[in-house]
Structure 1
Amino acid sequence: MGEKRKSQPKEESAKKARSQKHSSKDSAGKEAATAELGLSAIPYPKPVSGSSFAECTAKVTVTLAPVYSCDHWAGIHEALNNMLLHYVPQVRGVVLAYSKVKLRSDTALMFFDSPYGQLEVSARLLLWRPIAGMALKGQINVQSPDHIGMLLWDTFNASIPASLIPKDKYEWRPFNDDEIAARALPSTNQSEATGDGNGDDADVAMTGQGESDADVPASPFTSGNRYGSGEWVIKGTSQCVGSDGSLEFVVVDVIRANEVLSVTGALR
């Protein structure tokens, strides 16, 4: 009995040593995984190559009003024009243009007592069809601590929320009072820049003679990439994101609201 009692503490200490060894390995593995993901892990989608623009030939059912009974082509073009810049679920994209319109039937169908006829046509459609994982580039139009807003091809909206901006690479830097004052100077001194109103100065401003744009130093506080009360910069530096006013990002989600598409992106 005495020998058994002496062996119990040795067995318990061995079990504790093995458990501590396994726990240290697990913690080391978790730390390595966290280091690989970065300080702020962002769920980037799988990369997708190719363009966000696509073409397809689609069958479209056109509803013709009675006024177009003598000119069905006018009614067809009006119906197709109403699809432009709208999201169409049947083709899974925003219709930008159409061409090669052909009739699929010589007669229009009319149902019950409705005066409207339905005619089937086919058309070649140019679509904007963004997909998660694509790399797109947009023009910055607003920056705030909550997000970066952009415009794609001067038409579509895109937004990068702060949660999808890696905090280990970028940080928000608010403008100081001097920068805010410098950004307001060109608008207040616009009359001075264009002349004092006499004929000579007006002629110089209209003809473009005198100092060229290259001779006039551009103010860094009025460039197209500075908006609001601050800007997103590369961490540890004063270099703003999208120094030329444009910014490349990865599409994370495509949001459809009624017939309008907008894109949510993430910085890499």
Structure 2
Amino acid sequence: MVDVSSITYGPRRATLLTDDGVRIEAVYEPSTASVTDTAVVVAHGFTGSVDRPAVRRASRVLAERAAVVTFSFRGHGRSGGHSTVGDREVLDVAAAVRWARALGHARVVTVGFSMGGSVVLRHAALYAAEREEHVEREGGHVEREEHVGRVGAHTDAVAAVSAPARWYYRGTPSMRRVHWLITRPAGRLVGRYGLGTRIHHQDWDPVPLSPVEAVPLIAPTPVLIVHGDRDPYFPVDHPRMLAAAGPSELWLERGMGHAENAVDDELLRRLGDWLTRA
């Protein structure tokens, strides 16, 4: 289900309905480059949203290379539901990818930051079989259809920026604060009223596929792992573990911190080049 609230030649906003019935706010930004059949779906980090300045900046820079879809994960911004901190968020990515294909893009790729990075890796793994069936059925050509429920949710390439490799990591002060925010009632109140993020109170059951377990299942879809050597949340053993888990490319960025707030325009342009050519 897609409710497009503004049909214009510029950016358009929509409400997407996920497979489990959660309403997700999303924004489509046409490419400022020459005509391209690629759309990039951007998945923000925990406590982010579609209207955060870092997300809007990433969208504007990536739009130099391709059309861009941004959205707010469940429990974030104006989206419904509660955050499951990386579990059911794969359904949010799937809804955004379907929308991009419904808008006429033959090739749709994903890039995620921090929690969003873990989600796009899991999404690529969980929808990999659909991609292979689609390619075999269409002989490599993606049929363009108008109804979002009838088009594919698979990605054609995936980039994870500042993503964790494994769950329950508490090895840095930053991640210990995140765990307090997620697991304690007082922390969830801070998340809701201080950070605009509604966090689900229930523990994972079952524990979802971890990012490092997902990577080997993604091939032959191209995978890029990007990480800063000054990340205060996840040290460099995380990206190295992800890159070693399956076919992928690894960029270790000197002096870079964490996620979308730390990614400069030059790196965003390199990401856009990789995503449009991979």
| The two structures share one fold, judged by TM-score above 0.5 | no
State TM-score, norm by structure 1. Answer: 0.21
Whichever structure has more helix as a proportion of its residues is: 2
State TM-score, norm by structure 2. Answer: 0.20
Greater Cα radius of gyration, structure 1 or 2 = 1
Whichever structure has more strand as a proportion of its residues is: 1
